[in-house]
Amino acid sequence: FIISLGYPVLAEAPPSTIEVDIPEYEVEQREGYDYVDIPGGDILLVDGEPRVPYYSISAAYPEGYRVQDVTMTERSGLVTTEGLNLTIVTMEPAFPSGSESSSNKQGGWYPEEDFNWRSWINSDGSSTLLIAMYPFYYNPETTEVKFYRNYRFDIEYTLSTVGITALQTDKDIYNPGDKVTVDIWLKNSGETQD
């Protein structure tokens, strides 16, 4: 039988490059407006800005691997068009503030961001990387559209062979400002480290 003590079992190294081919966007016309969607994608809803689609992917990393940085190394497959009339997102506040939001406050292309990423640690010690890409750009002043179909990302990650096997505090309850003493037990399944 196998006993797991909660420290990393080294798996095959995950890929350091991710390539993404985004499906072609679809346009549906309703009541004089164009609603753009990407199959399998999501919608970016920011008050006062155009309703535009975005696309996300996730990647699993084995226990011990932690993503440190994500860099977009390629964006290609540009398709352009014009003449779309996208709706502007309006979110009603719970209590009116007395001010009005305006569409695309800075003018020009929206969204301004190319992509963003985040990662989190799962309960089994593995981690998940989420990359949100903004392939669809819209200029409400000119009704121009730019859409990028292909992305490539370099993923920088680290591997730790050290895991926490136990953690114990000296008391169960503390008051604000109390000194906290913590005992931590570590297990290093790799080479000696400082």
What is d(CA 33, CA 50) in angstroms, rounded to the nearest whole number?
Answer: 11
DSSP state of 6: S
Strands (E), 46-161: 52-61, 65-82, 115-121, 127-133, 136-139, 144-159
How confident is the model over 144-168, as pLDDT tens digits? 999 999 999 999 998 877 777 788 9
How many CB atoms within 10 Å of residue 161? 15
End-to-end CA distance of the chain: 33
All residues at 6 or more sequence positions from 145 whose CB lies less than 8 Å from its CB, including other chains:
80, 81, 82, 84, 136, 137, 138, 139
Digitized pLDDT (tens) for each residue of the chain, 194 residues in all: 233 333 344 457 888 999 999 999 999 999 999 999 999 999 999 999 999 999 999 999 998 889 999 999 999 999 999 999 999 998 876 555 544 444 444 568 999 999 999 999 898 888 999 999 999 999 999 999 999 999 999 999 988 777 777 889 999 999 999 999 999 888 777 777 66
Strands 52-61 and 65-82: unpaired
Q: Which residues pair with 71 in a beta bridge?
A: 154
- Looking up tokens 């003590």, which residue turns up? 5
